């Protein structure tokens, strides 16, 4: 849920419009939604939203993000970096508990 909610937050900060069919995003969702199917649905929905909105946003637009001057494009880059940070953590955790990533087989 953390990555999914992060995607929606960063998309909004980048100036993208969160799709109207997105359920209400609340801070407590990160702890309330724990069922695998529901988490995967949220993650898929958030990734789809980023992919759909990205081409329509003026990525050269100057914005304030976390109190600093930047561009919308830099926030989109942050979406990518955030997802990759957590993917790396998940791979390390999976290997620690004996799960081999499918691409390593």
Q: According to the model, what pLDDT value does residue 50 have?
A: 95
Angle at 4 between CA 85 and CA 45, to 5 degrees: 130
Q: According to the model, what pLDDT value does residue 81 have?
A: 95
pLDDT of 103 > 90? The answer is no
Find the mean pLDDT for residues 47-74.
94
Contact assessment for residue 9 and residue 66, using Cβ atoms and an 8 Å cutoff: no
Total domains, the chain = 1
Structural domain harbouring 82: 2-104
């Amino acid at each position: 849920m953390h990555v999914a909610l992060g995607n929606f937050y960063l998309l909004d900060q980048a100036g993208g419009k969160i799709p109207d069919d997105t359920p209400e995003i609340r801070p407590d969702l990160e702890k309330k939604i724990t069922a695998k199917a529901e988490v995967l649905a949220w993650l898929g929905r958030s990734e789809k939203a980023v992919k759909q909105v990205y081409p329509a946003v003026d990525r050269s637009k100057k914005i304030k993000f976390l109190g600093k001057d930047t561009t919308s494009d830099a926030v989109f880059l942050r979406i990518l970096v955030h997802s990759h940070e957590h993917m790396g953590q998940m791979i390390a955790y999976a290997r620690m508990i004996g799960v081999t990533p499918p691409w390593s087989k």
